[in-house]
């Protein structure tokens, strides 16, 4: 699907003014202004990223009550179970609180539901099992805010319950001893973008302060908290929450912690992911290497091994788990490719993906642990919300669905509007899950598409690239790209700068690369400057680029590639088209 390119306008007077007042380069000033940061104080806070700018953990709604309840259990020697989730955010959240409680000599264990057999959230049967096994207090992480029935069962059993979560909540809250949530009704926490691991870290930090009866904790607990920031960074990037405000601080310092003070299991996982020798880690290393490997364990029903990897103190076990989880990731990758091709064929043969307001795809044999990734790829490809529903091959009538959004549509209210057709649902604005009877899929598809059609304008349906600046390839010096890196960590809410160049030519034939030849590499030249580019998941562009050998316009993200001790500027190719195509220069939305 062709995209509309819109180049951010710039005021040279404002650029020069910010360059002088904030003491930054003109390149960085231009990018900061494009992100709405015009005041020197805003710029300092954005670029300095100081740990001391994290808010007091006791300001997070519900933390005081949760710490009180935990102190009571610690004093009584109660058996505490951390109840997690099966994605990377849930695993890191679980590991943070388990390791914290272990450091405080608590009687603690953990429970992670099986994605394939139990599904997301707190479960009534799990509450009963934990009670039978002697658990006195359950702490949920990254889940629980919508688990009303399970919370009621816990109350009836006399089982203590602390819920920590960050997901969307309904009109009714579960009954619990404490609920820790950035958007808890009746509170006004300044930042609502924390992921599950961020919330768990704040609780762990507050608990350490209470135990030490001081803001400055003991050296042993401080070392734990520094190490835990690496886990927070993984959960934050993998859960695709905005890398702004506190998340930016947690990820920036968490990446340093991962490099210099990784938990034992993560050190082994970084080794198999070939990250050990990198001079420094980036958010991309989490997004494309560590996060997918942990998520693979959860997607294939073995999330408990991911948690074990993050908390083990055994060198031998860490090595075994890292190797096995790496193998699971390869299996996940193979499943993903197979399901993607099947879903793409269904979308193109049975529907009209370029014109339908949304895609709701369903089939038997689609592995429910992988369909979310495929839904995301299709949503990006067609710029449409996508729901993918998998049914097993044994005749089970209830399927599991994963939803990914596009053009800003909030999924949670969309699923609420169609809830009469669903067995259950939950999640974020951008990603959600559901359960549905096979006989209800067609009715759900009609109502979901009607909702999208009514709530998305025609203009929003046009895929748009918001480009920071038009920048010739000759300006991509190592120094300039290094300056751009000051804006890192990059991710949701703070994307890597997207630039464009016009009148570019190919220098040689593009080549397919990577496992399965799914990626593309090409050399581009402009005004005597040649630069290498890589396009991920875009191997189909190889033949198209050769056909369009005339002058091209390219949209790209500049990166510094560190390989074999050398550091070179390259670009990630995001889009291309024959020159003199439709590029608007003006404010987005004008």
Domains detected in the chain: 53-252 (3.90.1640.30), 351-461 (3.10.310.30), 464-585 (2.40.50.460)
C-alpha distances in Å from residue 51, one per residue of 60, 93, 245, 253, 455: 16, 20, 11, 7, 40
Cβ atoms within 10 A of the Cβ of 23, count? 13
Quote the CA–CA distance of 79 and 81 in Å, as a whole number.
7
For position 590, what pLDDT does the model report?
A: 29
Quote the CA–CA distance of 575 and 136 in Å, as a whole number.
55
For position 396, what pLDDT does the model report?
A: 67
Cβ pair 484, 27 in contact under 8 A: yes
Instruction: Note the Cα 152 to chain centre separation in Å.
Output: 31
Give the three-class secondary structure for 83: strand
Task: Flag residues of the chain having pLDDT under 50.
Answer: 586-590
Cβ pair 399, 388 in contact under 8 A: no
For position 405, what pLDDT does the model report?
A: 93
pTM of the model: 0.90
Residue 206 φ/ψ, nearest 5 degrees = -65, -40
The CA dihedral of 58, 59, 62, 64, to the nearest 10 degrees, is 30
Residue holding tokens 């900061």? Answer: 32
Q: What is the pLDDT of residues 243-274, one digit of tens each?
A: 999 999 999 999 999 999 999 999 999 999 99
Six token digits for residue 316: 């031998």
| Neighbour order of strands in the sheet with 4-7 | 464-467, 4-7, 583-585
């Amino acid at each position: 699907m062709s995209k509309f390119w819109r180049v951010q306008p710039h005021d040279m007077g404002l650029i020069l003014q910010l360059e002088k007042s904030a003491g930054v380069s003109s390149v960085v000033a231009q990018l900061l202004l494009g992100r709405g940061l015009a005041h020197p104080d805003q710029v300092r806070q954005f670029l300095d990223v100081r740990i001391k700018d994290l808010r007091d953990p006791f300001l997070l709604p519900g933390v005081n009550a949760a710490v009180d309840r935990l102190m009571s259990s610690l004093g009584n020697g109660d058996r505490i179970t951390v109840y997690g989730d099966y994605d990377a955010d849930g695993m890191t959240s679980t590991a943070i609180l388990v390791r914290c409680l272990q450091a405080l000599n608590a009687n603690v264990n953990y429970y992670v539901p099986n994605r394939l057999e139990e599904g997301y959230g707190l479960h009534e049967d799990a509450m009963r099992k934990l009670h039978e096994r002697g658990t006195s207090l359950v702490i949920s992480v990254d889940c629980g805010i919508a688990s009303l029935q399970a919370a009621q069962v816990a109350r009836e059993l006399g089982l203590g319950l602390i819920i920590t979560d960050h997901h969307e909540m309904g009109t009714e809250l579960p009954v619990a001893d404490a609920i820790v949530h950035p958007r808890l009704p009746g509170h006004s926490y300044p930042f609502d973008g924390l992921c599950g691991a961020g919330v768990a870290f704040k609780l762990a930090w507050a608990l350490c302060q209470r135990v030490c009866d001081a803001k400055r904790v003991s050296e042993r607990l401080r070392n734990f908290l520094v190490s835990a920031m690496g886990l927070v960074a993984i959960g934050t990037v993998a859960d695709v929450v905005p890398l702004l405000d506190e998340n930016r601080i947690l990820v920036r310092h968490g990446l340093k912690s991962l490099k210099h003070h990784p938990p034992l299991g993560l050190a082994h996982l970084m080794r198999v992911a070939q990250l050990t020798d990198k001079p420094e880690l980036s958010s991309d290393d989490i997004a494309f290497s560590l996060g997918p490997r942990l998520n693979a364990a959860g997607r294939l029903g073995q999330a408990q091994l991911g948690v074990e990897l993050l908390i083990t103190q055994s060198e031998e076990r860490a090595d075994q788990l890292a190797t096995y989880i790496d193998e699971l990731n390869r299996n996940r990758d193979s499943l993903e490719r197979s399901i993607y091709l099947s879903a793409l064929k269904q979308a193109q043969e049975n529907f009209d993906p370029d014109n339908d307001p949304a895609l709701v795809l369903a089939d038997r044999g689609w592995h429910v642990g992988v369909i979310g990734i495929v839904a995301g790829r299709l949503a990006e490809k067609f710029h449409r919300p996508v729901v993918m529903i998998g049914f097993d091959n044994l005749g089970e009538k209830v399927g599991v669905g994963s939803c990914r959004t596009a053009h800003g549509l909030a999924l949670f209210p969309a699923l609420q509007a169609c809830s009469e057709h669903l067995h259950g649902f939950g999640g974020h604005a951008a990603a959600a899950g559901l359960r549905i009877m096979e006989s209800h899929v067609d009715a759900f598809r009609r109502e979901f598409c009607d909702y999208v059609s009514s709530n998305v304008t025609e203009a929003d349906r046009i895929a748009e690239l918001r480009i920071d600046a038009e920048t010739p390839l000759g300006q991509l010096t190592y120094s300039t790209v290094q300056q751009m890196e000051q804006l890192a960590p990059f991710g949701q809410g703070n994307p890597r700068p997207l630039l464009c160049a016009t009148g570019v030519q190919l220098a040689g034939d593009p080549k397919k690369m990577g496992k399965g030849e799914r990626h593309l590499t090409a050399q581009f030249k402009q005004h005597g400057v040649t630069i290498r580019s890589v396009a991920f998941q875009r191997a189909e562009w190889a033949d198209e680029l050769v056909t369009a050998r005339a002058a091209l316009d390219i949209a790209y993200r500049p990166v510094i590639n560190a390989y074999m001790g050398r550091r070179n500027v390259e670009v990630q190719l995001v889009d291309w088209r024959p020159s003199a195509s439709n590029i608007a220069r003006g404010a987005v939305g004008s």
